[in-house]
A and B are shown apart, each in its own frame.
Chain A
Amino acid sequence: MAEHGATVLRVCRAVVGPVDAEDAWSETFLSALRAYPDLPADANVEAWLVTIAHRRAVDVGRARSRRAVPTDSLPDRPASHADPASRDPDLWTALQRLPTKQRQALAYHHVAGLPFAEIAELLGNSPDAARRAAADGLKTLRKYYREDETA
């Protein structure tokens, strides 16, 4: 299972951001260990993990909004260890400006490589809508991201 750890972490970072990503990752693998004995032998393990990561990321996002951390009291760098947010602040800022479904569609397709039919099942829409969300998201992201880079 550990061989998919890197992909799942990148998906979590894209969807919930670098700070909550580690909680989402841990919850994902813990849930996966719990459910693993019931997984069919021929299942696509990575796609299955992304499915769990999607649900756990939604949970982590909910928990965070309930906690309602006052933003003005947050330090500039929330963690002392190598934090991707401090390395690539622009990409995450740009991702954060996208609607949730676009961000999810982007992450599941471009980071995890899931087909749109499976993404549609996760997002509760149609494969066409999932494809559009990813395309629109990528277009907007390119615009924000390039602006930030050249700013």
Chain B
Amino acid sequence: MTTNIFDELDADDGALQRLHSRLERDADAADLLDIAYRTVDTPVGTLLLAATTAGLVRVAYDVEGHDAVLTSLADRISPRVLRAPARLDSVARQIDEYFAKRRKVFEVAVDLRLAEGFRRSVIEHLREIGYGNRESYAAVAAAIGSPRAVRAVGTACAHNPLPVVIPCHRVVRSDGSTGQYVGGPLAKSTLLNLEAA
């Protein structure tokens, strides 16, 4: 057996890229694009952005494992997951502007279906903490009417489905130290310093 003569039918990257773009458009038009995703490079690493037709549903740091996050989205929401940057162009641009200090508020539709119950209340409250401000875990717990649930607030922040866009990084310890963060403590202090500068 000599070399496989069908190697001559080799699928070149140009054709595949063109076909993928066509699939993105066709799938979107046919309502088959349940979850679109793309990545964006930032000073705190490469962020994965994922959106349903309702809005931004997930932002994930490198350390969370982008493949694992996509698998989890496929399990929890829909297996129709496709790299389709168009739906996320606006979010990506706003994140660029945020890190360039040209934006203080994100204007994006969000889909909070990954945060339920108590965690959802915490996430909703986080959206009210303004740019450059900080609030303690205890203050957040008090604000949502569960002053003793300080530790649960920490857990809710750690499970924020939309870090950076929903500012869980603005929640710090009562003693003023930054505390834990889903993107790692360095990412948290980078964001806080960016907003303080």
Give the interface of A toward B (CB within 8 A): 1-2, 5-7, 9-10, 13-14, 22, 25-26, 29-30, 33-34, 36-37, 39, 81-82, 84, 87-88, 91, 106-107, 110-111, 141-142, 145
Contacts and interface: CB of A to CB of B under 8 A. Distances in A.
B79 A10 contact: no
Contacts, number: 79
A2 B11 contact: no
Contact of A111 (B6, B15, B83): B6
Interface in B57-105: 78-80, 82-83
9 contacts: A2-B83, A5-B20, A10-B9, A26-B23, A29-B23, A33-B80, A36-B79, A36-B80, A82-B15
Contacts of B15: 9, 22, 81-82, 84
Q: Tell me the dominant secondary structure on chain A's binding face.
A: helix
Contacts of A34: 30, 32
Interface of B: 4-6, 8-12, 14-16, 18-20, 22-23, 26-27, 30, 32-33, 78-80, 82-83
Nearest to B80: A33
A129 to B, nearest CB: 21
B8 A88 contact: yes
Contact of B32 (A13, A25, A30, A39): A30
